[in-house]
Amino acid sequence: MDSSTEPVVSPVQPVVTPEAPATPASAPSTSAAAQNGQVAGNFSSDLISSLQSLMGTVVIAIFVITFIVQAFQIPSESMENTLLVGDYLLVNKLCYGELGAGRYVMPYQRIKRGDIVVFHYPVDPKQHFVKRVIGLPGDRLRLVNKKVFINGTPLEESYVRFLEPPNNLFRDNFPRTDVPAYGLEGKWWLEMRKLVEDGQLIVPEGNYFVMGDNRDDSQDSRYWGFVPRENIIGRPLVIYWSVKDWDRNPLDSVGGRLHHLAYAMSHIFQITRWERTLRLVH
C-alpha cells in the first residue's frame, strides 16, 4: 500500500503552562468551596421541594377526607345481610351536597327512599350510624306485622332480613303510643305521640326516618326518632375491605391494640372476606 494514503498521526505536544502558586494544604481551593456550596444548596433545595410535596399531599388528603370521601367501619349487625360486622366502607360525602346554586355544577343528588346513609347519631352526634332511608319528609309511615306502609302503600323491600315472627307490639306494629319498648328514648316517646295521626307517623320537613335491614335487631328511628338533614354525612360507595369477626373487643391498652394490629397484619389472608372486598354498596 502507498504510504502517502495512510492517515498522518501527529504526536501530542506537551503544553507548558506557568506554575501556579502553592496553596496551604489546609485551605480548600475556591472551586472546591464553590462545589461544596452548590451541593449544600442542592440538598437544601431538594429538602424544601420534598417538604412542599409532602405538605401538598397532606392538604389534599385532608381535603378529600373532609369533603369528598371517608372510611368507616361497620360495628354492629343492624344492617345484615347488606353490611356485615367487619366491613370497611368508603363513604361519598359529596353526593348529597346542598340544594343551592352549586347543584347546577356539582353532581348533587336528593336523598331518596332506599338510600343507605351514614349520619351523626341524633342522641350522641359523636357516634356515626349507618341505616337505610325509609321515610321522607311529609311521608305517613306505619308498620303492620313488620310490613312497612308509606302513605297507605306497602313498601317492597327485598333487602330486609327477619329473624323472628311478629311478636313484638312496638317493634313490629309501629307506631304504638300505648306500649313503650325497651331501649326507647324518653324524649322521642313524647315527641312521637304528637306526630301520630290515624295510626300513621308523619315525618316532619327536614327529617328522615331510617331503619336497619336487620329489622328484628336494629336500634333505629323507631326507638330514638328522626335523622335531621344536617346530620347526614353521605352514602357508602364500596366495601374496600371486609374482615371476619376474629376479635371484636381487643384489650383497651396500647399493648392490646398493638397485638390486635399485629395479629391482623400477620393473618390478613385468613381473616379477609375476599368475596366481599371491593363490593359496591346498594
Residues catalogued as catalytic: 78, 131
Return d(Cα 101, Cα 118) in angstroms, integer: 24
- For residues 137 and 207, give the distance between their C-alpha atoms in angstroms, rounded to a whole number: 6
The radius of gyration of the chain from alpha carbons, rounded to an integer in Å, stands at: 34
Q: What is the end-to-end Cα distance of the chain in Å, rounded?
A: 90
Dist CA 207 CA 139 (whole Å): 10
Burial class (CB in 10 A: 0-12, 13-18, 19+), 128: middle
Q: Is 126 helix (H, G, I), strand (E, B) or coil?
A: coil
Identify the residue whose cell numbers are 338533614: 229
What stretches of 161-262 adopt beta strand conformation (E)? 196-197, 200-202, 207-211, 227-228, 232-242
User: Cβ distance 241 to 235 under 8 Å?
Assistant: no
**CB distance 201 to 225 below 8 Å:** no
Find where cell 327512599 sits: 113
The pair phi, psi for residue 237, each rounded to 5°, is -100, -50
What residue type is 179 in one-letter code? V
Q: Is 4 helix (H, G, I), strand (E, B) or coil?
A: helix
Residues in the chain: 282
Q: 280 near 93, Cβ under 8 Å?
A: no
